[in-house]
Structure 1
């Protein structure tokens, strides 16, 4: 059973593989009907305590969910926008060695795709899975020639980001701020890159939901993006029913008085 999203929840959601199905190319994801409206309503019901925590660029997330602009941790926590719109970023790190390595791999193997972000890069091998070992070895070598960088391997992707930031550190930063502070954190994600977030929320007495298969530290699991979407929509309806009940109860109290 998935945990309940209640009025005192601080809700954190990954994007790819969690809110949307993984696509053949990063720009090809499709936004499910009703997703934006559900997120908007949930954010209102939680008094703004709903944030995206993703490896994507913030600009991409805003465009996919336009006109909605949620508090967001992008590029695995390297960029963060608080609920009041304040932007914070990790220190820029020299990525020349890993960019050269990734660029050489892409030029030699057409099935690879390099996604360059603001403070991070992603090397996608979804269309050339046989190159996984080569990509990992070469990018590890690139990291060894650099300082201040971390490598993470996700679903057919190798992410390079500044060291010291993660989805876990991003969630911790949100939880120190309004409107998240004092609430029970809940994070849903699907990939190895989400494990730091799972560990963080559970260390704070919260809940973690793993979408799909694979080993995880998360205490809860749902089978698919569709099931997660149904869970979010059921939370919207349950909160609306609670609000209606409370409103009716207050009305009855006024009449009896």
Structure 2
């Protein structure tokens, strides 16, 4: 819903936990997932936040953990991937016990994509139409038809894409689980995201009295707003 947009206040790293989406929040969206440019300052900044929060800093992304580790090899902290279906508390360790077998879903998306770009994930697949925006309706129709054929999977809108992933995984649930144990337990939550897939987590954090920040435009449950990933990085760098 429409609301007054405010710049987030500075918060204390001694009392808050920092949870961040990746694409569109910390790095600019690119034409393809592997086309992103990761700022050289990002991993050092995340590791600084990790140290100053006593480990209570995490990435929470729709990307799979392996892809995030590949783009941020120097980052040492927790990563929640696949919208909460994967968890990696440190490099080299990934728990995928929350994910069902998605091979049949992935195969079906490839079979029916008709030239639209398919992004495979451990938990499902994404049908992208960013390169062909005139095929938006076709992409939606195809994705809805595929999701309807696979019980236990659901459809989620993303930026110029449709994602098919297992039911029951979401960033708000991932956040709630994260805050059940140290070092996140007992801290005030902060979450920043840019997409409809981030809205449940933004709403969850706002309801908990934390700091919810929407990057870019669009209606949001978040009371706070920053325009670009560059603005987000500058704001994070100002925290102490």
Determine the structure 2 residue equivalent to 1:252.
Answer: none
The ranges of structure 1 where at least 4 consecutive aligned residues each deviate by more than 6 angstroms after the TM superposition are none
Determine the structure 1 residue equivalent to 2:32.
Answer: 25
How far is 1:89 from its partner?
Answer: 2.9
Is residue 102–residue 124 contact of structure 2 (8 Å, CA) maintained in 1?
A: no
How far is 1:104 from its partner?
Answer: 3.0
- Cα shift readout 1:36-63 (whole Å, capped 9, x = no counterpart): 1111111100001000000111011111
Structure with the largest fraction of helix: 1
SS in 1 for 2:213: strand
Determine the structure 2 residue equivalent to 1:222.
Answer: 226
Determine the structure 2 residue equivalent to 1:123.
Answer: 127
For 1:145-160, what aligned pairs fall within 5 Å after superposition? 145-160=149-164
SS in 1 for 2:238: helix
Determine the structure 2 residue equivalent to 1:253.
Answer: none
SS in 2 for 1:4: coil
Pairing 1:41–2:48 present: yes
Is residue 18–residue 225 contact of structure 1 (8 Å, CA) maintained in 2?
A: yes
How far is 1:32 from its partner?
Answer: 1.3
Aligned length: 232
Is residue 62–residue 82 contact of structure 2 (8 Å, CA) maintained in 1?
A: yes
Structure 2, unaligned stretches of length 5 or more? 1-6
Is residue 52–residue 73 contact of structure 1 (8 Å, CA) maintained in 2?
A: yes
Structure 1, unaligned stretches of length 5 or more? 240-257
Structure of higher CA gyration radius: 1
How far is 1:95 from its partner?
Answer: 5.5
Determine the structure 2 residue equivalent to 1:73.
Answer: 80
Is residue 82–residue 123 contact of structure 2 (8 Å, CA) maintained in 1?
A: yes
How far is 1:122 from its partner?
Answer: 1.2
Question: What CA RMSD, in Å, does the superposition of the two structures yield over aligned residues?
Answer: 1.7
